[in-house]
Amino acid sequence: MKLVKFKKINKKLNFFQLKDIISIINSENRTSILSKLSKKNLTRFIQQVIKSNYLELFVVTKRRIIGYAILAKKPDYLLKSFKKFQLEFCFNLFLNFKFLTIFNIFISILNFDKILISDLNKKIISESLNLNLLGINKEYQSRAIGKKFLEYIFKYSIHKSKYVTCETDNIRSNSFYKKKLNFKSIGKKIRFLKNQDVLAKKL
C-alpha cells in the first residue's frame, strides 16, 4: 500500500490519465459494454462521468492511475448519461460487429434485463447507489487495494443511500465482493451470453 493514494476526479483528465483508465477497462473489464467502445467514445463517456452531478469517478494512483471505479447515485443516472451518446455508441458498435453488446444495451434500457429479479429487490436496485465498474491493474491485485479503495469510496462519496449495488459475471469478482465487503446476492440480470449476478450491501 506504500505510495498508493485514492481520490475522486473533479476535473478533465489528461491524455495519459485517460490512457491508463482505458487500458484498465480493456484488460480488467473485458465483458463490460464500455470495453466494446472505441477509444474516442470511451474517452467521451469518461469525461461525461466527471462532469455529471450524479456520477462519480474515483481512481487509485501510484504515480500513475492503477485503478478506477464509477459510482452512480442511482442506476438510472448512468443510463441517462449513456443515452446522450446512444446513437453514436451503437453505430460504433455496429461497425465493429458488436451485435450482442447492442442487444444488451437495449434490453437494459427497456428494463427487460431485470425480469429474473423480485419486485422488492428491483426497488432496492432502483433506489440505491450503483457501483457500475471497478478495475485494478493486474500487477496490483491481491494486495488489499480493492477493499481499501471501496471503503474510501463509500466513505467519501457525496451521494448517500441505504444500499449500494453492483453486478458481476465471474467467480473471482463475486467472491471478492461477498467475502471482503459482505455483499449479498439479490438476483440476476439477463445478459447475452452470460447473466450477471446482482449484489447488494447495506451501508
The 10s digit of each residue's pLDDT in 148-189 is 999 999 999 999 999 999 999 999 999 999 999 999 999 999
Treating both helix axes as pointing N-terminal to C-terminal, what angle do 145-156 and 171-181 enclose, rounded to 10 degrees? 60
The pLDDT score that the predictor gives to residue 1 is 66
The pLDDT score that the predictor gives to residue 81 is 81
Residues of the chain scoring pLDDT < 50: none
Residue 134: which region, alpha, beta or left (left: phi > 0; alpha: psi -120 to 50)?
Answer: beta
The pLDDT score that the predictor gives to residue 16 is 97
Cβ neighbours for 99, distance < 8 A, ≥ 6 positions apart: 93
Identify the helix (H) or strand (E) that includes residue 7. strand 5-8
Beta bridge partners of 6: 60
Residue ranges and CATH numbers for the domains of the chain are 5-202 (3.40.630.30)
Q: What are phi and psi of 37, to 5 degrees?
A: -80, 160
Question: If you count them, how many residues does the chain have?
Answer: 203
The pLDDT score that the predictor gives to residue 66 is 98
Q: What letter would DSSP give residue 84? A: T
Cβ neighbours for 53, distance < 8 A, ≥ 6 positions apart: none
Distance CA 77, CA 70 (A): 12
Q: What letter would DSSP give residue 10? A: -
pTM: 0.94
Neighbours of 57 (CB within 10 A): 20
